[in-house]
Amino acid sequence: MKWFPTVMMKQKMNLMTRVLLLNQNKIESTRKQRRTGSQSEKNNAIKTYKYNAFTFLPMNLFEQFKRAANFYFLVLLILQAIPQISTLAWYTTLFPLLLVLGITAIKDLVDDVARHKMDREINNRTCEVIKDGRFKVAKWKDIQVGDVIRLRKNDFVPADILLLSSSEPNSLCYVETAELDGETNLKFKMSLEITDQYLQREDALAAFDGFIECEEPNNRLDKFTGILSWRKTRFPLDADKILLRGCVIRNTDFCHGLVIFAGADTKIMKNSGKTRFKRTKIDYLMNYMVYTIIVVLILLSAGLAIGHAYWEAQVGNYSWYLYDGEDATPSLRGFFNFWGYIIVLNTMVPISLYVSVEVIRLGQSHFINWDLQMYYAEKDTPAKARTTTLNEQLGQIHYIFSDKTGTLTQNIMTFKKCCINGQIYGDHRDASQHNHNKIEQVDFSWNTYADGKFAFYDHYLIEQIQSGKEPEVRQFFFLLAVCHTVMVDRIDGHLNYQAASPDEGALVNAARNFGFAFLARTQNTITISELGTERTYNVLAILDFNSDRKRMSIIVRTPEGNIKLYCKGADTVIYERLHRMNPTKQETQDALDVFANETLRTLCLCYKEIEEKEFAEWNKKFMAASVASTNRDEALDKVYEEIEKDLILLGATAIEDKLQDGVPETISKLAKADIKIWVLTGDKKETAENIGFACELLTEDTTICYGEDINSLLHTRMENQRNRGGVYAKFVPPVQEPFFPSGGNRALIITGSWLNEILLEKKTKRSKILKLKFPRTEEERRMRTQSKRRLEAKKEQRQKNFVDLACECSAVICCRVTPKQKAMVVDLVKKYKKAITLAIGDGANDVNMIKTAHIGVGISGQEGMQAVMSSDYSFAQFRYLQRLLLVHGRWSYIRMCKFLRYFFYKNFAFTLVHFWYSFFNGYSAQTAYEDWFITLYNVLYSSLPVLLMGLLDQDVSDKLSLRFPGLYVVGQRDLLFNYKRFFVSLLHGVLTSMILFFIPLGAYLQTVGQDGEAPSDYQSFAVTMASALVITVNFQIGLDTSYWTFVNAFSIFGSIALYFGIMFDFHSAGIHVLFPSAFQFTGTASNALRQPYIWLTIILTVAVCLLPVVAIRFLSMTIWPSESDKIQKHRKRLKAEEQWQRRQQVFRRGVSSRRSAYAFSHQRGYADLISSGRSIRKKRSPLDAIVADGTAEYRRTGDS
């Protein structure tokens, strides 16, 4: 048979289909029977890098020159090469520009090389693909849609594939989806029965000629719709038959699959969202300030150019000694001088600003990487700053959007307590029922099936089980061992359970440790070890769980011939079905309140004995419902209701969905820092609410609002806004009314379906009725356009109202939300609140949210690496978030703000001296300093102290930062760097420049030195101003420094010493002999600085610049101290750290209406699979045997 597998993808909306003919290696597109041409071949390679060896230099330079400052300095460099307009040497701009471009290019290169390495590692992974009728090893990047591939145990799935067959009975395949959803419990996939029967052998797979029609590539992880046409029959395909890229094959020796979606079309890649270039709020502000400085620069240059033209007309043209041989008009000279002043004053826009910012951010990123207090030793996972551009924004966060599973919780369920026959077990008690403070773990060595990992501390429960005094205790754990859909296999002689949900696995494992171990099952039996005695029970029916029933039951026949029903489920549904004569009903209810108050997940257990006649009658109805052709699920649920009544209550279990260490403490501290936390999870509402209480987002005093409450509130608000929106609405300012009365603690819990309805995001179904289209008139088009605009305006107003309402709540929990909805919620807060957002998650379903937020944080560990790869920062535990924000974030923000304020100040003080000098040199664009001083001022003389302040400064210690989270609000409110602060720095620089110019000018007027000569020459004047400037700006950084180290002190005094050392070298006769045109200040420093009068002038200038600053600082710290000033003042008294303590819960019997819900699987359990018997078969021969001799047995249909 010719190998001709075909895959066709059909998009129903536009009738576009994609057909892959594998043997022709060609993808073709058709539109409704009309061929429109071919597309490029689709392969499985992914590409995240930006450059290659040929494009790096041009593309990187192009991107860098898109930055306004870099382009500005490139233009300046060109202007400086024109001798008619430049009074500054070209190298004064070239060297700093090359330094900036080089450092940025190296950083971009390192980042892109890492992306290349990661892409190569993934694309060069291998798997087996059928080529020329045989399985051959191929790289992931070479896989194409339509390929048949083989995967082995622990392999990653390379593409979205249709499961055809596997080594397991019934072609089951167990997968771990941690990369997709963060859940570590195994899920199973099952192939079509037809492919399981016929597609086991290599030659059969090679000859497979099926035709698949399916949905277009999309981002819905839990949905798939398609049809397989094969052997003249059409078979429906759903998500249970699809293995998604990113999953890992577990407990399955091998499986075969057909590639449906590859590369960028896979669902995990579709969920990754667009990679957004993230920039900080300070970046945007800094750019606007640079634009402001450029405008000021142009205005100053224009004013001075006009002054020069006027001076030339009035003085220059009539002074014969000023004739330079050029017969240019005053206007032309003024025009040239305009460009000359643009060059002279260019240091108002400091080119070194950007490279300094990059260096500081790089250093701060390394400090995060090196922080041992954010290192998780258990997994050997350090914190990692994956970007170097967002550090200071960590100090400005308003909202945190967190995933639940694997982020707040460990996704590890632990059996903590239980209530049996009205008695609570699980406290620290000895066998005599006495409580003890000393923790002594129960010894399970008497139980051969104990796993050795289970921790329990109530010795009295063990005594009850072993003594058998209360038969209900043994029956309780027997129920846990028998009533479930867990599957079991043995690995190296040890029991290994596969559960549809981690909760169910925890209960079966608890029963195993207490002596009731589930050993094996067949289609009709289940084997239990009861305190060492193996007993086999006939399974008569499994009444499986679904989200409406909220319970599951099993009917078994005991070896003695009795028929019993065992049931477990949520207390709300179990209590409705109990027999009215249950003596322990109230005691169990009280225990449920206790467990709920401790935020444990609860589950009620009950049973009943069934008469043979009653069961026989019910079984007839059950069998009839099982084969119903329509509404089968509804028919089964109705039959289940008939038997699940008059139940006898045994007790309740309490499971802890274990939080990660330090989660409540972290949330408490972040809340005190005025950071609001929203939990966005795909889990169900009860589970999400339970975790909200466990991590103390919610308390007993919290008023919880649900979707229906919010919908009515928003509807009322929309009606009120519509009523107010009359003719005069635009003349009346909008009134922002609160949704809730002031006071009280409120939280919002909303599901994904309610979210869509509230935000008007529901998709309208297209009408299937054929509509005749007639040309619309202009009026109809206009009306249609207006209608669309009204709908958009309504939607926008509704979304804004929702965000306003949600932001009034202290906590928001969105459950059952898709990855797209997570990103949408983040985007709404960004859009309508203009707030800085942070998203934190651990799975592929969090990637879109992480990329949408201003800052994305990935939790690395057992839940996969998809979130980490898309994040800006990563670490192993949620608790490290408080240190990332309250310590590193706050310090980074304070350091960057201080750095920028000081940088603008020192450059204004340096540059505007030229402006004052212009009034005394005919506005001739003559520089006030030596050219080499201008070149080295920002590079050597004033760079190191401010860089070290930007890297090392801290107002309070890390411990005090964590102890007083209120210090964080300065970043949220932009108090340390804004336009007001910018203009204060500008004014400070202007005043300093005036002092630096006019005090030496006054001192030099009519002055005679010790040798009788006048020292008032231009070069000595330039040296005096430069010396005073360097000393002033370096001492000013000392005043701004809060955290002194030897390095800071050395950099300040070292910069001053370096200035004098270089100046004396550059003013020496030796260097002038070597480069006479470049070094013209020969002997100036030695001649000027040997005069005491000059030193007194420098000292006076520095004192006048700094003493007012010292006085203002003293007054402000004394009269108007900030929070950090107060803490600094009392830091010795505060040195003894106060340990955080959990909030004490007050239990009020019978008051709590909240009930912790047991989390069954999100999907139906394995009951159908167990009942069908498809999973209970002899395991196939190993893969090697199938390949070697082709003699493996596989089931065929009787007719074939």
Active site positions, annotated: 403
Which backbone phi and psi does 152 adopt, to 5 degrees?
-110, 175
Cα(364)–Cα(360) distance, integer angstroms = 6
Instruction: Show the tokens assigned to 484.
Output: 């479930």
Q: In what order do the strands lie in the sheet with 160-166?
A: 134-139, 126-131, 148-152, 254-261, 160-166, 242-243
Torsion, Cα 1175 1179 1181 1183, to 10 degrees, reads 60
3 state SS of 750: strand
- Angle of CA points 658, 659, 664, to nearest 5°: 145
- Looking at this protein, which amino acid is placed at residue 333? R
In the block, which residue shows the tokens 């005695």? 533
Instruction: Report which residue type is found at 1042.
Output: S
- On whether the CB atoms of residues 874 and 662 are closer than 8 A, the answer is no
Contacts of 435 (CB under 8 A, 6+ apart): 427, 428, 429
CB 1058 within 8 A of CB 941: yes
**Beta-strand pair 702-705/745-751:** parallel
At residue 703, φ and ψ (nearest 5 deg) are: -90, 120
Integer Cα distance of 27 and 40 in angstroms: 7
**What is the distance between the alpha carbons of residues 860 and 846, in angstroms, rounded to a whole number?**
13
Which of helix, strand or coil describes residue 537? strand
Query: How far, in Å, CA of 902 to CA of 1109, rounded?
Result: 13
Q: Where are the beta strands (DSSP E) in 685-825?
A: 702-705, 745-751, 811-815
Do 372 and 342 form a contact (C-beta atoms < 8 A)? no
- The encoded tokens of residue 665 equal 């403490």
Q: What is the C-alpha separation between 416 and 460, in angstroms, rounded?
A: 14
- Tell me how far the alpha carbon of residue 1093 is from its chain's centroid: 62
Kindly give the interhelix angle for 471-482 and 502-513, rounded to the nearest 10 degrees.
140
- DSSP state letters, 1150-1179: TT----PBP---SS--SHHHHHHTTTSSPP
The whole-angstrom separation of Cα 239 and Cα 175 is 13
Rounded (to 5) percent helix, strand, coil in the chain: 45, 20, 35
State which amino acid sits at residue 837: T
Structure tokens at 850: 């992480």
> DSSP letter at 381?
B
Q: Any idea what DSSP says for residue 144? A: B
What single letter denotes the amino acid at residue 274? K
* Amino acid residing at 2: K
Angle among Cα 180, 185, 187 to the nearest 5 degrees reads 75
**399-402 and 26-31 as β-strands: parallel, antiparallel, unpaired?**
unpaired
Answer for the pair 861, 876: CB distance below 8 angstroms, yes or no: yes
Residues 6+ apart with CB under 8 A from 110: none
The alpha carbon of residue 195 and the mean position of all alpha carbons in its chain are separated, in whole angstroms, by 40
Tell me the C-alpha distance between 602 and 1170, whole Å.
26
Interatomic CA distance for residues 945 and 962, integer angstroms: 27
Neighbours of 1171 (CB within 10 A): 17
The phi, psi pair for 674, rounded to 5°, reads 65, 35
